[in-house]
Amino acid sequence: MTEIVMSQTPPILHGPSEKERKYDRQLRLWAASGQAALESANMLLVNSGAGTVGSETLKNLVLPGIGRFAIYDEAEVSEADLGVNFFLDDSYLGKSRSRGVTELLLELNPEVEGSWYPNEGVRTLDALLAGSQVFTVIMYTHPIQPEQLSQLEAYGQKHRTPLVAIHSAGFYSFFQINLPGAFPIVDTHPDETAATDLRVLRPWPELVSFAEDLTKSIDDLDNFEHGHLPYVVILLHHLEQWKATHDGKYPATYKEKTEFRKIVQAAARTNTPEGGEENFDEAAAAVVKTLVAPSLPSGLKEVFEYEHTDPVEQSSGFWVIADAVKRFYETHQCLPLPGKVPDMKAHSRVYIQLQNIYKAKARKDAAEILEMVQATPGGQHVDPAEVDLFCKNAAFVKLINATGWGSDAETPRIDRLRSVAAAEFAADASAELTLTPLSHLPIYLALQATAHLPASQPPAVGAILSAIAALVPGAERNERVVQAAHEVARAGAGELHNVAALTGGMVAQEMIKIVTKQYIPVDNTCVFDGVEGRCQVLRL
Amino acid sequence: MATTEVHPASEPARWAYLDRIRTRPGPFTNPDSFDGKVVAEAMENMKILVIGAGGLGCELLKNLALSGFKDIHVIDMDTIDISNLNRQFLFRQTDVGSFKAEVAARFVERRVKGVKITPHNCKIQDFDEDFYMQFQLVVCGLDSIEARRWINAMLVNMVDEEVEDSYKPLIDGGTEGFKGQARVILPTVTSCIECQLDMHAPRAAVPLCTLASIPRQPEHCIEWAHVIAWDQEKPFPDLDKDDPEHITWLYQKSLHRAREFNIPGVTYSLTQGVVKNIIPAIAATNSVIAAACCNEALKIASNCAPFLGYPDNNYMMYSGNDSIYTYTFRHERKDDCPVCGTLARPLPDIDQAWTLRDLVDSFAARPEAQLKKPSVRAEGKTLYMQSPPSLEAQTRPNLDKTLVELGLVDGQEIGVTDPAFATVVFKYRLKFKS
């Protein structure tokens, strides 16, 4: 189920504000904190080519209420724009395209500010970049002039601004996210069932005594009481009994867990009107999932192993907390308890007690970590709420773009593309045996080959293939690459509205994830094939 | 890639990008079914139906108008609410309260010159077969499973093997948060919405005794206020889930109950979410899914590239929570599909000690049935009818008889009808628990 926004303060007895009503359906996804982040975002779109994918992306960001946007687009509105771009009409023919799109997008949400360039005051991209408030994210569409791309890349380096390249042509598209460094996310929104951590194999004294109290005379309980023992308590009770007959060890292997499950099932009373007990069914069903020893999830392991030497990273609350959690893990051999208890058959009172035992332990763990954080140089300024959030989500914290890219990375980008190409082509060769979908790398190559061709020169197959040969020598002879080149040539640098809209939707989702630091962004390239109706994410 | 010639029908400069693709073959175009010379004109003469003018519907209308379709109809009975404005981009603050279909149609007609959009401010059930027969394609952007099942059953039943025009491809999209799906159904040829029903299993209901005596979650307190307190106290004649005063009443009741049991977490927003079963929705996801649907519509209408539905994949699942993941696959037709199949669908886990009432009540929650007001027949005999009232009264005594008393045996075939799907008899085969 979707996470619902809950306020910590006592609820107020009046209805939601006008703004909360308007944004209700999205606040249920990213809460007030995500909304505040969106509303302070300042986004730049450098638009060119057929120009629709950029407009569609911004539409999906203006509607949920980003703070402001700017469009830089040197094109004038042509007839062809009116057949593909919804945010232009006849009245703009011959006029600045950035102006038309900006004005029609602003109609969608009076709370958003937008501006368009070039205009009489700001005539070049350079001037815009030099004279604007720092941009939160910059998106640019292909084809882009190489000198403009260099300007954007320099700006991105200087201001640590994420850059997103977008290319849509005919049935194909891709976008590529270039983050300025490792990008950690705490609020990843895992599925609730996956995020349940009951720690029945590492119970703490309060939980142990609570379970013992409820089960010390389990056989004397009346049917109602017996049928309302929370399944966590049932598991703890039978685990203790198991340990007593198994040298103090918990069931570990699949076989032992199956045996344990049978014991739990057999402990249910059958002389009830229903012929069984739901809480024991719940306990048996939870055995395999719940009887797992605490371990370090791979995402968090990557965080622990990442060497953060960059001064900007050093001073960020995230890394200070991550270091503290790492020390906590080394000391206790388990992560801070998230503290959430799923619903289970139980009395209201007993369930609330159980919930409070978990919450108290979670608070205790978080307090221990907060103490470590505050003892760290620079840690005094870390917001305790940030520590809390980290502790609740520790198992699902994720690091994107951990290895970086660009001139300072160890592997130049072109080498990475070539090694990915080799791996993808090799996988394709055995795709029929492994029943895996074919790679979208050919599509990426064919589009990338036309990344700087002006829209006025529709690309020919031969030119595309020689550009591909320069990117990945030999790839131009691959049959699927040749097909992709033909498909790109067919589009003639033109967009299909549907593919532009679909890509604009995906890019907008990604921008929302990056700005709100919630959910997990693409790392780092997503390629869409509208012939098959399928995406592939590649790390290039 | 024999030809590079473009064959525009009208306004070649405006539709230059589209014509390059839809009138010229590419490497994946099937030469046997593609004729670039006739595509543009054929599409201009097509009639296409959009069901729903909400989050997906607004996108669908925009996309179809910019895909070269000129004659579009749209059905939606709803009026515009303020909570629509974060994604339904054809509507403004001043449109709140107006019909969605009407406002959406006018907006797209104004913006995209040459397209005609006919709005129908009513329910899909208000139209009959003759109405649906006039379209060549149906695209759905609905939030209700029930409406999807209804139109699916209609289109499947309309198929006449001897009339080629009676096959109406159905393209269906749905979203929830960052996730969604797009699918193509060729009625009687590929897996239909009823075949795929178990992919949209209803959320398990909370047992009444939990609500009544042992609530544990804020949702339990809200459901208690909604289904028990409201009925007992009747603060207003009818519950209007869109009336803030009604929601406030439920919220305060829920809050009171939650305090009594020390349950944290009841908020106005949660109350509204539970009572209205609100599904989170954003513009970006609607954009992805509606465009995926219209991309298939363009391919089906022009044959300029292979489309979902035939011969292989027919379903695209999309998830944007954790990176982006799509799974495009083929959902197989089911011979025991109650709508497009011929065999009865097995109904497992039936307890032979059940009364007919137990059986009837179980239909709503079963993923393979999801029928809220079922009437049951077996071997030509009526066991229970929901309407008309005279028949209901006559058959009501059967509800308290056990299945065995009614002569129902393991493997028995039963026929079930439901007023939500007037034309369909759902055939099921009872499978008793051993």
3-class SS letters over A406-421: CCCCCCCHHHHHHHHH
Q: Is the CB of residue A68 less than 8 Å from the CB of residue A113? A: yes
Mean pLDDT for the stretch of residues A398-409 = 68
pLDDT at residue A314 is higher than 80: no
How many Å apart are CA A32 and CA B24, to the nearest integer?
49
Tell me the nearest-neighbour CA distance from B421 into chain A, angstroms: 29
User: Averaging pLDDT over each range in A377-381, B101-105, B337-341, which range is the top one?
Assistant: B101-105
Model pTM score: 0.94
Cα–Cα separations (whole angstroms), residue A251 to A79, A280, A410:
71, 18, 46
CA nearest to A230 within chain B: B216
B192 flagged as catalytic: no
All structural domains of chain A, each given as residue ranges with its CATH number in brackets, are 20-181+497-538 (3.40.50.720), 205-290 (no CATH), 298-400 (no CATH), 411-491 (no CATH)
Segment (H or E) for A331: helix A317-332
pLDDT at residue A113 is higher than 70: yes
DSSP string, A439-501: PSHHHHHHHHTTTTS-TTSPPPHHHHHHHHHHHSTTGGGSHHHHHHHHHHHHHTTPBPHHHHH
pLDDT at residue B361 is higher than 80: yes
User: What is the DSSP secondary structure assignment for residue A35, as one 8-state letter?
Assistant: H
CA nearest to A484 within chain B: B27
pLDDT at residue A415 is higher than 50: yes
Tell me the nearest-neighbour CA distance from B83 into chain A, angstroms: 4
Position B369 scores a pLDDT of 83
Asked if B17's CB is within 8 angstroms of A496's CB, the reply is yes
Chain segment A62-72, per-residue pLDDT in tens: 999 999 999 99
Which of B16, B113, B267 shows the shortest C-beta gap to A90?
A: B113
List A residues 93-122 in contact with B (Cβ-Cβ < 8 A): 107-110
Q: Which of B57-61, B121-125, B428-432 has the lowest mean pLDDT?
A: B428-432
Chain segment B365-397, per-residue pLDDT in tens: 888 788 889 999 998 889 999 988 999 999 999
pLDDT at residue A406 is higher than 70: no
How many Å apart are CA B219 and CA B271, to the nearest integer?
8
Position B345 scores a pLDDT of 86
Position A361 scores a pLDDT of 97
Chain segment A325-361, per-residue pLDDT in tens: 999 999 999 999 999 999 999 999 999 999 999 999 9
How many Å apart are CA B254 and CA B221, to the nearest integer?
5
Segment (H or E) for A166: strand A163-169
CA nearest to B111 within chain A: A89
Q: Which residue of the set B209, B293, B304, B337 is catalytic?
A: B209
Three-state DSSP at B18 gives helix
Three-state DSSP at B46 gives coil
Chain B positions touching A56 (Cβ under 8 A) are 287
Q: Which of A454-468, B299-313, B399-413 has the lowest mean pLDDT?
A: A454-468
Chain segment A145-162, per-residue pLDDT in tens: 999 999 999 999 999 999
Note the ipTM here: 0.94
How much of chain B exceeds pLDDT 70, in percent? 99
Which residue(s) pair with B432 in the sheet?
B350
For chain A, the average pLDDT equals 93
Over its C-alpha atoms, chain B yields an Rg (Å, rounded) of 24
Mean pLDDT for the stretch of residues A30-40 = 97
DSSP string, A199-266: -TTS--HHHHHHHHHHHTTGGGS-HHHHTTS-HHHHHHHHHHHHHHHTTTPPP-SHHHHHHHHHHHHH
Chain A, chain B: beta-carbon pairs less than 8 Å apart = 274
How many Å apart are CA A36 and CA B316, to the nearest integer?
33
Mean pLDDT for the stretch of residues B96-112 = 98
Which of B15, B66, B321 shows the shortest C-beta gap to A519?
A: B321
For chain B, the average pLDDT equals 93
Show Cβ contacts of residue B131 under 8 Å, excluding neighbours closer than 6 positions. none
Which of A20, A28, A345 shows the shortest C-beta gap to B280?
A: A28
Q: Helix axis angle, A205-215 relative to A348-375, nearest 10°?
A: 170
Chain segment A207-246, per-residue pLDDT in tens: 999 999 999 999 999 999 999 999 999 999 999 999 999 9
Closest alpha carbon to B249 in B273, B272, B219, B265: B272
Q: Sign of the C-alpha dihedral, residues A20, A22, A26, A30? A: negative
CA nearest to B207 within chain A: A345
Confidence of residue B4 (pLDDT cuts 50, 70, 90): low
Asked if A24 is an interface residue toward chain B (Cβ–Cβ < 8 A), one would say yes
Asked if B281's CB is within 8 angstroms of A537's CB, the reply is no
Tell me the nearest-neighbour CA distance from A127 into chain B, angstroms: 31
Chain segment B35-89, per-residue pLDDT in tens: 999 999 999 999 999 999 999 999 999 999 999 999 999 999 999 999 999 999 9
Residue A352: count of CB within 10 angstroms of its CB: 18
pLDDT at residue B278 is higher than 90: yes
Residue B420: count of CB within 10 angstroms of its CB: 17
Mean pLDDT for the stretch of residues B166-186 = 97
How much of chain A exceeds pLDDT 70, in percent? 96
pLDDT at residue A502 is higher than 90: yes
Closest alpha carbon to A142 in A173, A97, A106, A102: A173
The tokens of A99 are what? 């102006």
Position A74 scores a pLDDT of 97
Position A4 scores a pLDDT of 47
Asked if A351 is an interface residue toward chain B (Cβ–Cβ < 8 A), one would say yes
Residue B166: count of CB within 10 angstroms of its CB: 16
Half-sphere exposure of A397 (CA within 13 A, CB side): 31
Using DSSP bridges, classify how beta strands B381-384 and B413-417 pair: parallel, antiparallel or unpaired.
unpaired
Which residue(s) pair with A535 in the sheet?
A528
Which of A29, A86, A346 shows the shortest C-beta gap to B280?
A: A29
How many Å apart are CA A293 and CA A273, to the nearest integer?
37
Q: Which of A162-176, A505-519, B297-311, B336-350 has the lowest mean pLDDT?
A: B336-350
Asked if B26 is an interface residue toward chain A (Cβ–Cβ < 8 A), one would say yes
Mean pLDDT for the stretch of residues B292-314 = 94
Angle subtended at Cα A454 by Cα A61 and Cα A459, rounded to the nearest 5 degrees:
110
Asked if A306 is an interface residue toward chain B (Cβ–Cβ < 8 A), one would say no
Show Cβ contacts of residue A209 under 8 Å, excluding neighbours closer than 6 positions. none
Chain B positions touching A50 (Cβ under 8 A) are 17
Asked if A346 is an interface residue toward chain B (Cβ–Cβ < 8 A), one would say yes
Position A409 scores a pLDDT of 55
pLDDT at residue A445 is higher than 90: yes
Q: Is the CB of residue A136 less than 8 Å from the CB of residue A43? A: yes
List A residues 134-153 in contact with B (Cβ-Cβ < 8 A): none
Asked if B255's CB is within 8 angstroms of A25's CB, the reply is no
How much of chain B exceeds pLDDT 90, in percent? 79
Position A8 scores a pLDDT of 43
Mean pLDDT for the stretch of residues A306-311 = 82
Chain A positions touching B288 (Cβ under 8 A) are 502, 505-506, 509
pLDDT at residue A407 is higher than 60: no
How many Å apart are CA B200 and CA B366, to the nearest integer?
11
How many Å apart are CA B223 and CA A252, to the nearest integer?
40
The tokens of B427 are what? 């055939």
Which of B92, B267, B324 shows the shortest C-beta gap to A11?
A: B267
List A residues 201-230 in contact with B (Cβ-Cβ < 8 A): 228
CA nearest to A347 within chain B: B214
Phi, psi of B376 (to 5 degrees): -125, 135
Position A386 scores a pLDDT of 95
pLDDT at residue A2 is higher than 50: no
Position A405 scores a pLDDT of 46
Mean pLDDT for the stretch of residues A297-305 = 93
